[in-house]
Amino acid sequence: MEKWRRTWREGGAEALRSKGPHRRPRLDQAAFARLEADLNRGPAAHGYADDQRWTLGRVAALIRRLLGIDYTLPGVSLLLRRNGWSVQVAGSRAIERDDHAVQVWKDQVWPQVRVHGGEHGARISVAGMVCYRPGERSRLIYRLHHYRRRKGERAAFTLNEYKSMLNGAHQHLPGGKIVLIWDNLNIHHSAAMRAFIDAHADWLSVFYLPAYAPELNPAESVWSLMKRSMANFLATDLDHLTRMIKHRLKVIQHHPGVIDGASLPPASLSPPHPLSPIKPG
């Protein structure tokens, strides 16, 4: 305040008039190219041996030393962003690391160490039914299909495997009658499957879910839970994987509360368009 009063006494009101902000010095493209070349040399080349990070303060010091121009830290940030530089999270990496040696090890040594399984490309498919009935314990019924890439072997579930699962559910579920809510796999719509459903219309009714609506299928929640429980599992072969899948599904089978958690509230099972049952004949 005293400074302003002295200026007013010496020059009057005109002396207090703002001259506007001072224009910040800007680097032309040639000067920035010179700066960028030094930045690319790395902090170690400029005496920063403790770590290899370019901070705004270090860049400002480099500009001052190299070009004789003072920049504020926000000004350095704006300058770098305008020229294509961005903030990066520093990785924890020793300065002595030899990236070339690391790549050589990955390309030449690791293939010698790695052990390939005897069933490369083999896989297991899982099909199942999440079963609910008022007053009864919720259940999970499933079947596994093994594919070992053998000649003539089916890669996916066969019609007979689906029939076997449905017949087994009919025999073991209380009451025997099944209202099946199914997704839209091609085999579920095949003529042979339609004939099977028609032939067992006395205990089997089928409704199809809308296309691409896994959130309406409780079985998807069970498969997701199983997969998450095996996230860090490494199988030595297909038999080892089979044992683990059976174990994880058995745990779910013994916890009906988990199966209940996979179901949806009745209101949310009402789709925007009515489901069409498959009628016999």
Out of 74, 93, 112, a domain closes at 93
Stretch 78-91: mean pLDDT, rounded?
82
DSSP code, position 2 = H
Question: Are 127 and 243 contained in the same domain?
Answer: yes
- Say if 180 falls within a structural domain: yes
247 contacts 114 by C-beta, under 8 angstroms? no
- Helices and strands, counts by H and E, the chain: 12, 4
Report yes or no: 169 and 143 within 8 Å, Cβ to Cβ. Answer: no
- Most confident residue range from 13-27, 61-75, 181-195, 250-264: 181-195
Dihedral angle computed from the Cα positions of residues 218, 224, 225 and 228, in that order, rounded to the nearest 10 degrees = -170
Tokens of 159: 């019609």
At 24 the pLDDT is 54
- Domain with 80 in it: 20-93
Domain count, the chain: 2
pLDDT for residue 251? 95
Shared-domain flag, residues 254 and 131: yes
Work out the average pLDDT over 84-98: 76
Q: What is the mean pLDDT of residues 51-55?
A: 83
pLDDT of 79 higher than 70: yes
Asked whether residue 30 is assigned to any structural domain, the reply reads yes
SS3 164: helix
164 and 46 belong to one structural domain: no
Residues 80 and 152 occupy one common structural domain:
no
Confidence at 162, pLDDT banded by 50, 70, 90 = very high
Q: Examine the domain organization and report whether 72 and 187 are in the same domain.
A: no
- Position 105 in a domain: no
pLDDT at residue 110, as a whole number: 84
Check whether 91 has a pLDDT greater than 70. Answer: no
User: What pLDDT, in 10s, does the model give residues 187-219?
Assistant: 999 999 999 999 999 999 999 999 888 888 999
Same domain, 89 and 127: no
If asked whether residues 166 and 241 sit together in one domain, one would say: yes
CATH number, residue 172 = 3.30.420
The mean-pLDDT minimum among 131-135, 253-257, 271-275 falls in 271-275
Q: Which of 93, 109, 144 is the last residue of a domain?
A: 93
